[in-house]
Amino acid sequence: MSHDLTSVRAGGYDTCEPSLLPASEVARLLSLSIRTLWRLDSAGKLPSAIQVGHSKRWRRNELDDWMNSGCPPRSQWRWEEIRRLRKSCVQ
């Protein structure tokens, strides 16, 4: 079984974390129950998920940026713009 992995540098060590998280991992990351996670998703209070087969997955790096930005509702969340600006500053 293969996983979509991205290399992350943390504490001086290279670690691998899944770049797409299932609902159970997102709920754990946000300290929520699965039911509350789905309720917030339905209400548009989480970043958009990606449909993978019959399940939803969330981008780990997008969730990190979203939390660092104060967890704005989906209607105000502009992750693609943030990514684009970050890339233009690095180049």
Domain ranges of the chain: 20-90
The pTM for the full model equals: 0.70
**Which residues have a Cβ under 8 Å from the Cβ of 68 and sit 6 or more positions away?**
none
CA distance 77 to 91: 24
Helix then strand count (H, E) for the chain reads: 4, 5
Residue range 12-26: mean pLDDT, rounded: 76
Q: What is the pLDDT at residue 65?
A: 92
- 44 or 85: which leads in pLDDT: 44
